[in-house]
A and B are shown apart, each in its own frame.
Chain A
Amino acid sequence: MDTAIQIVIGGLLQGSVFAIVALGFSLVFRVTGAINLSQGAFCIIGALVTYSLQESFGWPVALAAAGAAAVTAATGLAIGAAVFVPALSRLPVSSMLIMTAGLLTLLEGLTLVVWGSQPYALPPFSGEAPIEWLGVRVPTQGFWIAGVTAAVIFGLWYLLMRTAAGKALRACAENPMAARLMGIDVPRVTLASFVLAAFIGGLGGIVVGPITSLQFDTGRFFTIFGFIAVAMGGIGSFIGAVVGGLLLGVVEQLAAGYISSMFANSLAFGLLLVVLLWRPNGLFASGLARRTDVREGQRIYPPIVRLKGRRAAILGAIAVLVALALPNFIPSVSVMSSLVITCILFIALLGLDILMGYAGQVSLGQAGFMAIGGYAAALLATGYGWSPLAGTAAGMLLSVACATVLSLFTMRLRGHYLALATLAFGLLVDSFAIGLTDVTGGPSGLVGIPAFAIGSLVFDTSTKMYYFLVALIVVIVLLLHGGVRSGFGRALQAVRTDQTAASALGINVARYKLIALSISAALASLAGSLYAFYFHFLSPEMVGMPRSLELIAMLVLGGEGTLVGPLIGAALLTLLPTIIQPLAAYKTFATGALLVLAVRYLPGGIYGAAVHRLGRLIGRRAAAGELR
Chain B
Amino acid sequence: MSASALEVVRLAKTFGGLRAVDDVSFTVPHGSLTALIGPNGAGKTTVFNLITNFFRPDAGEARFYGTSLAGLAPGHIAALGLVRTFQSARIFPGMTTLENALVGAHLQVRTGPMGQMLWLPAAGREERALTHRAEALLDLVGLAADRDIPATELPMGAQKLLEVVRALMARPRLLLLDEPAAGLNDSETAELAALLRAVRANGITVALVEHNMSLVMGVADQVVVLDAGKLLASGTAMQMQSDARVIEAYIGQDAEAA
Binding site for B on A (CB under 8 A): 292-295, 301-304, 306, 478-480, 482-483, 485-488, 490-491, 493-494, 496-498, 500-509, 515, 561
Contact = CB atoms under 8 A, between A and B. Distances in A.
Contacts of A490: 95, 99, 102-103, 106
B224 to A, nearest CB: 20
For the complex of A and B, 3 pairs with smallest distance between CB atoms: A506-B78, A486-B116, A487-B109
A506 B54 contact: no
Nearest to A495: B92
Given A293-B54, A487-B106, A508 B75 contact: yes
Interface string B42-59: 000100010010100000
Question: Interface on chain A toward B: helix, strand, loop, or mixed SS?
Answer: helix
Interface in B73-107: 73-75, 78-79, 83-84, 86-88, 90-96, 99, 102-107
B103 A494 contact: yes
B127 interface: yes
A508 B106 CA distance: 10
B113 interface: yes
Contact of A303 (B73, B103, B127, B150): B150
Interface stretch (B117-125, B180-188, B190-198): B117-125
A503 B73 contact: yes
B118 A506 contact: no
Contact of A505 (B96, B99, B106, B150): B106
B170 A506 contact: yes
Nearest to B79: A506
Given A504-B52, A506-B78, A295 B90 contact: yes
B52 A505 contact: no
A349 B154 CA distance: 33
A482 B119 contact: yes
Nearest to B46: A293
Contact of A496 (B45, B73, B94): B94
Contacts of A507: 75, 103, 106
23 contacts: A292-B54, A295-B88, A479-B117, A483-B113, A485-B116, A486-B109, A486-B127, A487-B111, A490-B95, A490-B103, A490-B106, A494-B103, A496-B94, A497-B93, A498-B93, A503-B74, A503-B78, A504-B84, A504-B86, A505-B106, A505-B166, A506-B170, A515-B113
B116 A497 contact: no
Contact of A498 (B79, B92, B105): B92
A257 to B, nearest CB: 46
A298 to B, nearest CB: 9
B102 A487 contact: yes
A515 B114 CA distance: 11
A562 to B, nearest CB: 12
Size range of the interface on B? 35 or more
A490 B169 CA distance: 14
A619 to B, nearest CB: 12
Contacts of A501: 86, 90-92
Nearest to B112: A488
Contacts of B88: 294-295
With most chain A CB atoms within 10 A of its CB, the pick from B83, B86, B107 is B86
A486 B90 CA distance: 21
Contacts of B104: 505
A471 B106 CA distance: 32
Contacts of B92: 493-494, 497-498, 501-502
Contact of B107 (A294, A488, A505): A505
A213 B165 CA distance: 61
A493 B94 contact: yes
Contacts of B166: 505
A522 to B, nearest CB: 13
Contacts of B109: 486-487
Nearest to B54: A293
A498 B86 CA distance: 12
Contacts of A294: 87-88
A414 to B, nearest CB: 14
B145 to A, nearest CB: 16
With most chain B CB atoms within 10 A of its CB, the pick from A292, A485, A497, A506 is A506
Contacts of B49: 293
Contacts of B45: 293
Contact of B123 (A295, A486, A509): A486
Contact of B94 (A503, A505, A561): A561
B103 A491 contact: yes
B103 A509 contact: no
With most chain B CB atoms within 10 A of its CB, the pick from A301, A304, A485 is A304
Contact of A479 (B87, B118, B127): B118
B83 A488 contact: no
B102 A500 contact: no
A501 B90 CA distance: 6
A483 B94 contact: no
Contact of A487 (B74, B105, B167): B105
A302 B94 CA distance: 7
Given A304-B96, A505-B106, A506-B106, A478 B75 contact: no
A295 B87 CA distance: 10
A219 B117 CA distance: 41
A501 B75 CA distance: 10
B94 A488 contact: no
Given A292-B54, A295-B88, A506-B75, A301 B93 contact: yes
Interface in B115-165: 116-119, 123, 127, 150, 152
Nearest to A302: B94
Given A505-B166, A561-B94, 9 more contacts: A480-B117, A482-B118, A482-B123, A485-B116, A487-B109, A503-B78, A505-B78, A505-B83, A505-B103
B94 A478 contact: no
Contact of B95 (A479, A485, A493, A509): A493
A304 B106 contact: no
Contacts of A478: 119
Nearest to A486: B116
B54 A482 contact: no
Contacts of A494: 92, 95, 103, 106
A175 B116 CA distance: 44
Nearest to A512: B113
Contacts of A301: 93-94, 152
A303 to B, nearest CB: 7
A67 to B, nearest CB: 47
Contacts of B117: 479-480, 482-483, 488
A503 B77 CA distance: 9
B97 to A, nearest CB: 11
A500 B94 CA distance: 16
Interface in B19-65: 45, 49, 52, 54
A486 B102 CA distance: 9
Contacts of A295: 88, 90
B246 to A, nearest CB: 27
With most chain A CB atoms within 10 A of its CB, the pick from B106, B119, B170 is B106
Nearest to A561: B94
Contacts of B86: 293, 500-501, 504
A507 B118 CA distance: 21
A502 B102 CA distance: 12
Contacts of A561: 94
Contact of A483 (B78, B103, B116): B116
A294 B87 CA distance: 8
Contacts of B106: 487, 490-491, 494, 505-507
Contacts of B123: 482, 486
A431 B161 CA distance: 54
